[in-house]
Homo-oligomer: A and B are copies of this chain.
């Protein structure tokens, strides 16, 4: 954890002072540190769970080798410095083989996990044996796990869904209703399929829970930071003021820029991503952009 104050607070009170504060930790099972080297040296399996925008900076502090470590990402975003998803970033920047890289993906809002509501995770890894080990360890009476070999696809889906969630929020903020929201999600999953196919073509069912399920939970849930962020934009907040109002980072904000940039190469037809990009980065008026977007959807 970055904050030493939060670490001390958890040690003394067994609760995180900032997020999901109702959850009680068994501190005897935790090694709490703000030193990435101490954490990595201690662990065989490392799960990264920080906003993607801060990952590169944290990793620069790393002096301990990542060789032979199993690295899982729960981040779901693009590393801005390299425009790579987290798995690719570890593979290309740190030479970690894909067999040692994995992704943990939903549909799984942390808020409901904290409430012990039944949730399903997909554990994707190049090495199916490693995926199984991780799946077994994350399994519990309220968490069911399945495994997948589609590291790239699941991680791109997890990243893209945040953009579609912002779009859903903007639509809601502009006054579009449930009928349009359903139409938007139906278009979003088709757009996502096209995009991911360009990035990494393989046999996958885009309606599996790691893709469609993850899109829906984020696009529909009131817990979603990205949807909340989009909603404020739709209601007329500027990007800056919406960000200031929210104490948490909306991953989709960065994802939009990265996906848009990546798509200059892939050239998938992505009217929804383009619309969100135009609003967030080109200063275009949400109402006008969405009016045009409605003509392109079906």
Interface positions of A (Cβ within 8 A of B): 106-109, 112-113, 115, 117-120, 144, 146, 175-183, 185-187, 189-190, 193, 205-209, 212-214, 216-217, 220-223, 294, 297-298
CA distance A44 to B119 in the complex (A): 52
Whether A189 touches B217, Cβ cut-off 8 Å, given contacts A176-B118, A179-B117, is no
Q: When the two chains form their complex, are residues B220 and A178 in contact, meaning their CB atoms are under 8 A apart?
A: yes
Flag if B209 contacts A207 (CB, 8 Å).
Answer: no
B residues near A146, Cβ cutoff 8 Å: 298
A179 touches B106 (CB 8 A): yes
Contact between chains at B206 and A183 (CB < 8 Å): no
**Bound: A120/B120 CA distance, A:** 32
What residue in chain B is nearest A220 (Cβ atoms)?
B220
How many of these chains are in the complex? 2
Is A180 a contact of B216 with CB atoms below 8 Å?
A: no
Which chain B residues border A220 with CB–CB below 8 Å? 178, 181-182, 220
Q: How far is the CB of A110 from chain B (nearest CB, A)?
A: 10
Contacting residues, chain B, for A183 (C-beta < 8 A): 107, 119-120, 209, 213
Contact assessment for A207 and B206 in the assembled complex, using a CB-CB cutoff below 8 Å: yes
Q: Which residue from B175, B178, B213, B297 sits with its C-beta under 8 Å from A186? A: B213
Check A223/B117 contact, CB under 8 A, given A146-B298, A183-B209, A186-B209. Answer: no
| A179: chain B residues within 8 A (beta carbon) | 106-109, 112-113, 117-120, 217
Are A178 and B109 neighbours in the complex by a CB distance under 8 Å? yes
Q: List 16 A-B contacts (CB under 8 A).
A: A106-B179, A108-B179, A109-B178, A112-B177, A117-B175, A119-B180, A178-B220, A178-B221, A178-B222, A182-B209, A182-B220, A183-B213, A186-B209, A186-B216, A190-B208, A208-B298
CA distance A112 to B181 in the complex (A): 12
Task: Select which of B189, B297, B298 is within 8 A of A212 by beta carbon.
Answer: B189
Cα A213 to Cα B176 in complex, Å, equals: 15
A248 to chain B, nearest CB (A): 18
A144 contact set on B, CB distance < 8 A = 294, 298
Given known pairs A107-B183, A178-B220, A190-B207, the reply for A120 and B213 (CB within 8 Å) is: no
Q: Which residue of B lies closest to A113 (CB)?
A: B179
Cα of A205 to Cα of B207 in the assembled complex, Å: 11
Q: Which of A107, A177, A189, A221 has the most CB of B within 10 A?
A: A177
- CB-based nearest B residue for A175: B117
Most buried by B among A175, A187, A205, A209: A209
| Whole-angstrom CA separation of A212 from B120 in the bound complex | 21
- How long is the Cα–Cα vector from A211 to B193 in the complex, in angstroms? 16
Specify which chain B residues have a CB less than 8 angstroms from the CB of A190 in the assembled complex: 205, 207-208
Of all chain B residues, the one with the shortest Cβ separation from A193 is B207
CB-CB nearest in chain B for A143 = B179
Residues of the B chain whose Cβ atoms lie less than 8 Å from the Cβ of A216: 181-182, 185-186, 216
